[in-house]
Copies of this chain bind each other. A is one copy, B any other.
Amino acid sequence: MPFVKIEITREGVTREQKQTLIKGVTDLLTSTLNKDPHLTHVVIQEVDLDDWGYAGEQVSVLREKGITADKK
């Protein structure tokens, strides 16, 4: 009975990327814990950049400063 919530900033995530996340998390729960996929729900919640704060600053401000969340 897994329920997974993925919260990410709203920055152009595509439908295909969402499907990849959903499939990936569901498969991970099956391969690691042998969970039946029919009992696994995954919810993606996109958060506006004004609504996510990191290190005391809105992400919208960080992005204006050129600071991204990209892997280097």
Contact = CB atoms under 8 A, between A and B. Distances in A.
A43 B59 CA distance: 10
B56 A37 contact: yes
Majority SS at the chain A contact face: mixed
A56 B7 contact: no
B41 A54 contact: yes
Interface residues of A, number: 57
The 7 closest A-B pairs by CB, nearest first: A22-B53, A42-B53, A26-B56, A24-B28, A37-B55, A44-B51, A3-B7
23 contacts: A1-B9, A1-B59, A3-B7, A4-B6, A5-B7, A17-B33, A18-B50, A19-B53, A19-B57, A20-B28, A21-B53, A22-B57, A22-B58, A24-B24, A26-B55, A26-B56, A28-B28, A34-B71, A36-B69, A38-B54, A40-B56, A41-B52, A41-B54
